Amino acid sequence: MNKIILLAALFAGLFFSPVQAQQKAADAVHLIPEPVSLHTGTGHFRLSGQTAIVVPAGDAEAQKLGKMLGTMLGTPTGYSFPVVSTHSGNQPAIVLALNRSPQSELGEAGYTLRVTPGGVTITANRHKGLFYGMQTLLQLLPPEIESHEKTAGITWDIPAVDILDYPRFGWRGLMLDVSRHFFSKEFVEAYIDQMVKYKYNVFHWHLTDDNGWRVEIKSLPQLTQHGAWRVPRTGRWGTFEKPQPGEKASYGGYYTQDDIREVIKYAQDRFVTIVPEVDIPAHSLSLISTFPNLSCTQLQYPVNPGSPFYKKEDNVLCIGNDSTYLILDKIFTELAQLFPGEYIHVGGDEAYKGFWEKCPKCQALMQHEHLKNVDELQSYFIKKMEKMLLAKGKRLIGWDEILQGGLAPEATVMSWRGMEGGIQAAKMNHHVVMSPNSFTYIDLYQGDPLVEPATYSMLRLSTCYAFEPVPEGVDPKYILGGQANLWAESIANERHAEYMTWPRALAVAEAVWSPAKKKNWDGFVQRMESQFPRFDAAGVKYARSAYDPIISGVKDSGGKLQVKLATEIDGLDIYYTFDGTEPDNHYPEYKGQPLDIPEGASEIRVITYRDGKPIGRQINCPLSEVEKRIKK
């Protein structure tokens, strides 16, 4: 350990001086999320076949991190990186060192990273800080470091830097919905791999909904035998035909408990906590389809394939039915034993209460418990769930509808219908995770619906980047952090899940890690663009929708339709045509003023360029669509 500290000090003295260590990150280094402090220096450190990874002697966790780093570096470079606890000062090395006297500024997840021509040193108070320093180190290397195979002809240089970094929030989450469409265990692990590169640390796993039950419950094998499967449908979600008589439920899947243990271990190795969600009392058709006696109607419904059913089929558990609690106790007993994290998410959202109002059992319960309305009935249910979870050593978290009728005493609120639910809960001294649909729902359109896969609303990258988890007037100590959510109604395959996640999850990553004062949209765009070659090297699909033109309509003083054009990213040139031909940079350029529409035109075609080359997709927009886009 003494040799490690001495080596770190030598590296520091070799390189940085007050004059050299000037902050010019924007000129040379592009990291996401933006670190607390970054100074660049002169020169670089070059990885070679002689580079070692040095870890503290006798530290098994650091040894494991060193081997992980060696694998990540070794696959694309082709080099072997021995993990050692002692080595000569002449050998080039990457040093992972723990502070003997923890620095309060760094906390549990912070780190310092110093690169000099003589070597690399990552220092932290805890192992998770070393892990996050490793992620930053990878971003300093050429993009090909993300390749899954050896890449020849690359000089593996790391620019000289001095970085101090730590997270703004402890909850930095991504949610993946695997109920509406099932994603493989291998994809889930790959998704976790990708999220930790940007320092996310909570994976919210939406495991159940109306459309599929994805977690094995050994005491209730019917849930995966029946509830995990539905009839196959392709097309636009919400328009599908209902299951037909005799049609086989062949689409779906589930995770065995062994699968889940493997994913949990995989996540733990990467300092990610998994929060499982079983969505109740609503969004429960896959459960009710398996056990029809659990709804107020007690009718046999199919697992929903994406066809309209709301208020027609009863997807809400019967609160007055004792069987509901017997089944849920079995489910949560096994989940509590399976998942080691602090929280279990119970959903609590979008419960249609009309069936409760007509249910004799629910009405009798309301009378017995002196509940004034069905909102209080839902609150009664959530409070009962909280007691059940606390008895199993877990805490309850739910969507902001759990505020309705009165919040459970120790519940944590995940605010999705804007920020208001989170504000209300925080003012009641409850912890909050901010996840407002207006900023963090990454299943929404990210570009023009004419060229994007169908979904139901809009969330552009720049709006995502504007996300601020702490509203004015709220004590920050109650805001655990923030989260982006990927609902999967309109996401039928794994490649599209990636496309919808990136780069918008980069924007949310900065909101939950980086200092608020460092927010800068133009700087983010530059740093985001540096990630695209990394996605390419890793084989991860991502969207470039932010480069596409934005087309809208206005009316002139005489009431005639005009076309307005814009771009989300500054510095792009916009070219257009009304005559049905394909525009390029020799066509008319948009200069900022609304365009008059030539007589007889039925469509505008628009494309964006940067530095004389096309960068966005061409959008062909009927003028009838432009008319619809006029803001009222």
Which are the contacts of 160, defined by CB distance < 8 A and separation ≥ 6?
Answer: 15, 40, 41, 42, 43, 44, 45, 115, 116, 117
Q: Which of 283, 345, 430, 431 is catalytic?
A: 283
For residue 30, CA distances in Å to 25, 38, 133, 586 come to: 7, 10, 15, 34
| DSSP of 343-382 | EEEEE--S---HHHHH-HHHHHHHHHHT--SHHHHHHHHH
Q: State yes or no: cis peptide before 281, omega within 30 of 0.
A: yes
Tokens of residue 340, six digits:
């080691």
d(CA 414, CA 400): 6
- 213 and 278 Cβ atoms separated by less than 8 Å: no
Is 209 a known active-site residue?
yes
> Which run of H or E residues covers position 389?
helix 374-391
d(CA 537, CA 146): 5
- 214 and 251 Cβ atoms separated by less than 8 Å: no
Which of 382, 376, 345 shows the shortest CA–CA distance to 362? 376
Which are the contacts of 461, defined by CB distance < 8 A and separation ≥ 6?
Answer: 446, 503, 504, 507, 545, 546, 568
Q: Which of 189, 350, 536, 603 is catalytic?
A: 350
- 278 and 335 Cβ atoms separated by less than 8 Å: yes
d(CA 542, CA 173): 19
Q: Which of 209, 210, 314, 452 is catalytic?
A: 209
Crossing angle between the packed helical segments 494-501 and 185-196, to the nearest 10 degrees: 20
d(CA 267, CA 83): 22
Which of 365, 268, 351, 360 shows the shortest CA–CA distance to 315? 351
Local structure of residue 168 (DSSP, 8 states): S
Query: Hunting for tokens 């805890």 — which residue is that?
Result: 126
Is 283 a known active-site residue?
yes
| DSSP of 573-586 | EEEEESSSS---TT
| DSSP of 31-69 | -SSPPSEEEEEEEEEE--TT-EEE--TT-HHHHHHHHHH
Q: State yes or no: cis peptide before 503, omega within 30 of 0.
A: yes
- 582 and 619 Cβ atoms separated by less than 8 Å: no
- 199 and 513 Cβ atoms separated by less than 8 Å: yes
Is 313 a known active-site residue?
no
Q: Which residues are catalytic?
A: 209, 283, 350
